[in-house]
Chains A and B, each alone.
Chain A
Amino acid sequence: MPLTVSNLTKSYVGASAKTINAVSDVSFVVEDGSFLAIVGCSGSGKSTLLAMVGGISKPTSGLVKFAETSLWAQGNNARADFRNSTIGFVFQFASLLPTLKAIDNVALPAMVSGALSEKAAYARARVLLEQVGLAERIDSYPGELSGGEQRRVAIARALINSPQVLLADEPTADLDEETEVEILKLLLEIRQAHKLTMILVTHNRDIAALADRVLTMKSGVAEISDAILKADRAEAKIVSHERVDSIYAISAQQVAGEQVRLGVGFERYVGRFVLILLPLLSLIYVANLAVASYQQSVINAQLDRKQALEDLAMGDLKAGVKDIRMTDEGYELDLFLRNSKRDKPMFVMTPVVRVFVQLGNSWLETALDSSDKPSAAVAQISSERIFRFRLKPNVPGYAQLIPYYMHVRITNDLLVSPSSLPKDDLIERNDSYYVYLKPHNISDEVIAKKLKFAGAPPVYMPMPPH
């Protein structure tokens, strides 16, 4: 397919409205089946020119015509279709998809374009890979291929849609010299065998010398000269016509025998995952479950112990005011501790009891004597046990929420354990008991005038538990 480029210009507008001409008014013609080399130093505009010719980068002005088709006059979709079916690209880097095998990488563009059936795409990809000398590496992943081999795959991929034009942008840029020559030779062979029109961007003037014409780019401007035909070109004619025909004439048998490979890798990947990772993950998962279950059982056991301890101290242990009696000078207070579950042992540190009387809006502590100090600091509570205290509150002007009566708060701090030598099985219980306490210096008759009782006004009136 002949290619005509007329007055092609690419300019960019920077943020400060400065226009930068990357390619300036370049025109040339590449005849059907001929080979144009573009040379020039870095930044001379050769890649940009190729990108415009290849339909990748839109020119600011100018024309690119493949035979009678004007490339940039087409819509996006049409241009993409045209590009995919007509032009083959080989770039500076192989740009293979690393998760796909060589044959998948080659077959994929044909499958995307829909030009070939999936099986046919694979059949052609196989032939192309054989042709670029990779018959043995069809199922290799890009990571398993050398730089030169990767470039061969990229060339095969460029040919999958039977392009009539091959564009190559420094396809050997990162290869060593020996491989570079090998790949360029291959490209030339392929071009000749497929009778392709080819544009090759290269900085290598020796390679350029093999072209029919050479276009030299300098600061975006082109100079065109005819190249001298070298003997190498004749040497490159190693691809027979027979083989070329076989590329485009894949037999029905070949197609039928071909397998769609895309996804096989994925299956293998999944397979590997299932075979190796899954049992491993399952093992980790089971181990994790076992550890979690064990941890949970330990936590539950701790919670159960804590709850049992709380039930023991807050529920099973009953505590409160048993009685308050008036004595000549003060009061005798009996506090009881009762183990309501007699079958369960229960040990209590000697209760710390304090008594307060309301004065104004606050509580004033009053002195307290313990009449029967327990012999041991820790008392076993097996049934009911009484702790007796003597108090003589002297709080002039105490608050009278109930006429004449003192408002009294008795606090009782207990340490409770099911064991006589507790370790971590110890819990604190802080009780407050509230009573209204009859004063000494007011007669029952006086009280009875304001508070009605069936009998004599009681020494104390207990409030509901707190």
Chain B
Amino acid sequence: MAEKQFTKQQIKIILKEAEASTDIYELCLRHDITETTLYEWLAENTPTEVSQGKFNLRQFMQEVFNGGMTRRELLYAGAAGVSGFAAGNIFAMVGNLGNVGKLRMPDLLHSKIEVEDASRYKQSTEEFGDYLYLTPQKLGGGTHVVDFKHGITLASISYWNYGDSCPISHHLSAYPSSNPRKGFEFVNSTQGGKNVTMYSIPTEIEERGLLDTWGQGNHIYRVEFDGTKMELKEDIAKTTGIGLGVHITIFPDANGFAAADGQKDVCAFFDRVSGDNKTSVLKAFRADWIGNESDRNLKDNWRKGGKLRIVELNKAPETGKFDLQGTKGNKIDWEMAPMAENLVSSDGIPGAGKKSLTGLDAVVHHPGNKYSALIIRMLSCAVIVDRETWEPVACLHNPEHSPDNLKVTKLHENPNTWEIEFDDVKCVGHEAGFSPDGKFFTMMNNIEQNNMAVYDTSDPDPRKWNRITFVKDPEWVGDFPSPFHLCFSMDGSKMFVSVMHEKPAKSGCCVVDTKTWKIIKKFKNIGVDCQTMAVSYDGKYVFQIFSGFQRQESGAFVFTQDDSLRALGYLPNFGGHHDCVLIPTKKEHMKNSRCTTL
């Protein structure tokens, strides 16, 4: 007897009929089905008939061979092949033990609505390690912290909320925290004042009075993340009277930090406090330039040599504070953008103290925790200061064909004043850093010379540190492209250097082998304006941030630290960022954090 095919709907109707019918045999005859078929349908559609026993493969197989399966099931079994069918049931069984009804072939074909827990997918950035990633937003006026574990921003802070009427969140550094998700502390410098006028924003911020007292920038904000939110604990500029708006670098022992500002030529060293305690200044210095030919062509003011004078600054006895808040002490009205040192020497940036400008806008620390280098852009040099005696002891002078270690002479005390003589200044310089083992120091020569001077700094006496080579690239000619920021791999075997191209060209970065000081790899066209870099402390990744003049395209390009130097792609970011730090979880991480390099 050939079996007719029935749809599910037809079967339901026949079963309904069967329930109402008094003559089941007539019903079967009428629909041309056997009673067995009818009862099979009944069994399939009556929940009480479903066996609740455990699935027994042996019994099941015997049923297959002994005809205990429906023909439809056999058909499927034949189509799938016995092994496939059995395997399919076994897989179904694993997820559904004790529910034999679910194991039947027809049920395998039933469609289901899947419900998934979205929070399980919080892993998009997990590969980058168990770190928190802290980035200032520059013109965005705040800073945010992203958890790589799940790519979610844990918290953010906006400084205008605290009454800062022009917060340009500029640079930062974070103290180590064994469990950053529970809490960590960081220090964040801001700019303001006329700096907002160099981004070509048609703004009325000046006319509306927002660049007055609290919009002048140069705040040094101490911020704590408490596991939930970020809270501004202190404006160190207000506490101490020293307002500095550029690089922040925490000491290797994490017991304090340095800040600097190239518009004022001031750097200061601060102690570390937490909670509601107030920060105090350990020492502050100002740098001044006395050009040999300051009255002639402005360019010659620096080019023809002169004297770099370092003066220790003192608090005003009446206030117990320094008098360097806001724009107080600015030698130029806005900062020198990268490669904009020539705008100063061509009188393109207004400012009352321009001729004495040195461009001291950063301090980096030797990982041995004793010496710090004051980075001076207009002269391309680094003045090494002993943080135990607070005496400048040496001056590393970077330009090729110039003496590499200049003598520091103490002129007098009260105030303590030192002088360094320069025969000439062959080029300007910019960012710098120490290798994590402290054996090398390197700094960029820019514009007239475009290279990186490398020093052997393994001798305990900085006066014996000497320049051993230059990192060069035939492409580094003229203003751009030029080496800009740098950092080292955790093992110190490689130096990563961001390479600035003039917009609209995109910037890139390169990798230098620290054995040979040769470039071994270049990443081109990463994004507009590559800025500072960071490495993950597990030795795996390098993060190259970029930010097109703080309000154009921005992001972070990621590649591996290992020898494969494999590009991984881009991380998004939430504003034009200018710096980035992975929160150190151990004190020794400072050697590869915003401490030794810029």
Contacts and interface: CB of A to CB of B under 8 A. Distances in A.
B19 A407 contact: no
Interface string B483-511: 00000000000000000011111100000
B61 interface: yes
A296 B97 CA distance: 49
Interface residues of A, number: 81
A101 B192 CA distance: 87
In this complex, which of A92, A463, A464 has the most chain B Cβ atoms within 10 angstroms of its Cβ?
A464
Given A56-B68, A174-B1, A97 B78 contact: yes
Give me the 9 closest cross-chain CB pairs, A-B, nearest first.
A43-B28, A434-B200, A464-B337, A14-B19, A315-B505, A43-B25, A451-B350, A452-B352, A314-B505
Contact of A109 (B39, B66, B77, B200): B66
B598 to A, nearest CB: 19
A457 B66 CA distance: 105
A99 B58 contact: no
Interface stretch (A15-23, A287-295, A372-380, A381-389): A15-23
A28 interface: no
Contact of B35 (A47, A429, A432): A47
Given A47-B35, A173-B1, A453-B350, A15 B65 contact: no
Given A51-B36, A91-B67, A14 B46 contact: yes
A363 B203 CA distance: 10
A16 to B, nearest CB: 5
A22 B39 contact: yes
A83 interface: yes
B82 interface: yes
A1 B505 CA distance: 96
Contacts of B46: 12-15
A464 B27 contact: no
A144 to B, nearest CB: 14
Contacts of A6: none
A45 B467 CA distance: 105
Contacts of A463: 198-200
A201 to B, nearest CB: 10
Contacts of B351: 452
A462 B344 CA distance: 11
A13 B24 contact: no
B251 interface: no
A92 B206 contact: no
A386 to B, nearest CB: 18
A57 B69 CA distance: 11
Contacts of B18: 14, 20
Nearest to B53: A76
B39 A56 contact: no
Nearest to B340: A464
A399 B202 CA distance: 8
A297 B59 CA distance: 58
B36 A458 contact: no
Contacts of B63: 56, 80
Interface of B: 1-2, 15, 18-20, 23-29, 32-36, 38-39, 42-43, 45-46, 48, 53, 56, 58-59, 61-63, 65-68, 71, 74, 77-78, 81-82, 194, 197-200, 202-207, 298, 333, 337-338, 340, 343, 347-352, 354-355, 478, 501-506, 525, 549, 552
A42 B354 contact: no
A463 to B, nearest CB: 5
Contacts of A401: 197, 203, 205-206
A466 B200 contact: yes
Nearest to B350: A451
B1 A170 contact: yes
Contacts of A84: 62, 66
B304 to A, nearest CB: 15
Interface of A: 10, 12-16, 18, 20, 22, 41-45, 47-48, 51, 54, 56-57, 76-77, 80, 83-84, 87, 89, 91-93, 95, 97-100, 108-109, 112-113, 157, 170, 173-174, 219, 307, 310-311, 314-315, 318, 340, 358, 360-363, 399-402, 407, 409, 429-432, 434, 436, 451-455, 457-458, 461-466
Interface centre among A48, A157, A453 (most CB of B within 10 A): A453
Contacts of A432: 200
Nearest to A447: B350
A431 B66 contact: no
Contacts of A48: 35-36, 39
A464 B198 contact: yes
A310 B503 CA distance: 12
Given A16-B19, A76-B59, A89 B66 contact: yes
Nearest to B478: A340
A108 B62 CA distance: 10
Nearest to B81: A99
A112 B61 contact: yes
Nearest to A40: B25
Contacts of B2: 174
A314 B56 contact: no
A218 to B, nearest CB: 8
A97 B86 CA distance: 13
16 contacts: A16-B19, A22-B39, A43-B29, A48-B36, A76-B53, A80-B63, A87-B66, A112-B62, A113-B62, A307-B525, A399-B207, A407-B202, A434-B200, A451-B333, A454-B354, A464-B198
